[in-house]
A and B are shown apart, each in its own frame.
Chain A
Amino acid sequence: MQWVSYLPSLAQGALVTAWITLAAIAVGAVLAFVAGIARVEGGRAVSTLALCYTELFRGTSLLVQLFWFYYALPLIGISFEPVATGILVLALHVGAYGSEIVRGALASVSVQQFEAARALNFGRMHTLIHVTLPQAIIEMLPAFGNLAIETLKLSSLVSLISIADLTFRAQSIRNLTLDSAGVYSLTLVGYFAMSLVLMLVMRLIERWARRGAAFPRAAHS
């Protein structure tokens, strides 16, 4: 029953993982909407800027991004706390992938909806806020759910910039006890439990968004 003694330390790490993941998802979702809407609605300059952001962060290694923000950026005088760096880099990752989700969902709203909005003389802003986004968000939710879980798993990389998250704690305990099987099994269970909670929360959000029978044909079960 040696593994029981790992639990307090692992639980502390899990809290850090949860906090970093949730903060990254929250900030990243905002970035995703800003960049995704900019791609669809922005003028040429704005949408190109958003495209560059998306492709830059999708096209480079997350681990290298972490190192760059943690080790390279301070060389030009900008430095953050490790945790802030982890949240920032993960959020930029969520924003880049999420902007594609937002863009795709906005593009999937039928042209007839735009025409109906135009026939009612809605302006561009009102069309976006009241007609297209509410419909698109429903389409985005499953993909955002996947992205959230992916972010949770990727958050283990922050252990490499000395943040004491779940993975970091597991490593330390293993180095001390050499009980690889016990420590890593517990760690897997920890991540899995957190994913389950995330999945459940996303389901609830989805159900809430489809309330009122506005969209009775659920896109998936």
Chain B
Amino acid sequence: MTENATPPLIQFAGVTKRFGALTVLDDFNFEVAPGEKVTLIGPSGSGKSTVLRILMTLEPFQEGRLTLAGMDYQEPAGTGPFKASERHLRDIRSHVGMVFQSFNLFPHMSVMRNVAEAPVRVLGLSRAEAEARALDLLALVGLVDKKDHFPSQLSGGQQQRVAIARALAMRPRVLLFDEPTSALDPQLVGEVLAVIRDLAHEHDLTMLLVTHEMRFAREVSDRVCFFDKGRICEQGSPEAIFTAPSHPRTCEFLASVLG
């Protein structure tokens, strides 16, 4: 990254993450600027999901320091695996949203309630305000006519679009996408990518995207990071990574996925 006056929104500084004896992230350093759209690519098991899951506070980490908008994930006197109080974790989470590979919609709630529920329960919006917000977002993802359907009545692509609307309803500064199209039939991938492409134009939204859709990554990202064995092996503009990768591992990986 070039030197920049704006401080990073996200900063991993020497973060180490272990699962038992397995070290998944080892002295990991990574920064994301406000509004930046970053794509993480790399082989299976290289730790891409783990980075997103740590940011979403779904996984704790053992060493190093992680900050978001200047807020430390771990508190000096924090206890438990996260070394932080639940209240502190909720403060952090209020800035971050996540879209999962398997959508994870709430099966017992209509599309409308899936999107409006957290704004009501967590942000304290009135039901009417939350539903107005939800309708705007359902319009954005093209699913207003499905608002009274249940997730089981939607295609995978539609479910994922609802999941994106649901995450956006909390107005996160950072939106994390973990292989959002990997669970979809090929003919449904396009509609989800189209929604994410629109979001990529949102100047203020910071996006971290793990994907195997290389063409798409190239199109929407400001920066592409190639992961290997829990480290960023190479990173740069999409042009640089896709047309002139310098690291042999990157070349190898791209050759294998681009065929």
Interface residues of A, Cβ cutoff 8 Å to B: 112-113, 115-116, 118-124, 126, 130-131, 134-135, 138, 212-217
A120 touches B170 (CB 8 A): yes
B56, closest chain A residue (CB):
A119
Contacts of A213 in B (CB 8 A): 150, 152-153
Supposing A112-B100, A115-B100, A214-B152 touch, asked if A120 and B108 sit within 8 A by C-beta, the answer is no
Contact A118 B121 (CB under 8 A): no
A139 to chain B, nearest CB (A): 11
Most chain B CB within a 10 A radius of its CB, from A118, A119, A122, A131: A119
Determine whether the beta carbon of B117 is less than 8 Å from that of A130.
yes
For B107, list chain A residues within 8 Å (CB): 135, 214-215
Residue from B96, B102, B110, B122 having most chain A Cβ neighbours under 10 A: B122
Jot down 26 A-B pairs with beta carbons below 8 A, ordered by A.
A113-B104, A115-B100, A116-B105, A118-B56, A118-B58, A118-B93, A119-B167, A120-B97, A120-B117, A120-B118, A120-B122, A120-B166, A120-B170, A121-B90, A122-B121, A123-B86, A123-B122, A126-B122, A135-B107, A212-B150, A213-B150, A213-B153, A214-B109, A214-B152, A215-B152, A217-B152
Listed from nearest, the 10 A-B pairs whose CB atoms lie closest are: A116-B104, A120-B118, A119-B98, A121-B93, A112-B104, A126-B121, A214-B150, A134-B108, A214-B108, A121-B122
When distances are taken between beta carbons in the complex, the residues of chain A under 8 Å from B117 are 120, 130
Residues of A within 8 A of B106 (CB): 113, 116, 131, 135
Closest CB of chain B to A50's CB: distance in Å? 22
Total residue contacts A-B, CB cutoff 8 A:
71
Secondary structure type dominating chain A contacts: helix
Task: List chain A residues, Cβ under 8 A from B153.
Answer: 213, 216
Chain B residues near A126: list those with CB within 8 A: 121-122
Instruction: Verify if B237 is at the interface (C-beta below 8 Å from A).
Output: no
Interface of chain B residues 127 through 174 with chain A (CB within 8 A): 150, 152-153, 166-167, 170
Of the residues A113, A121, A214, A216, contact of B170 by C-beta under 8 Å? A121
Cα of A119 to Cα of B97 in the assembled complex, Å: 6
Residues on A with C-beta less than 8 A from B67 are none
Complex Cα gap A122–B86 (Å): 11
Contact residue among B96, B104, B118, B150 (Cβ-Cβ distance under 8 Å from A122) = B118
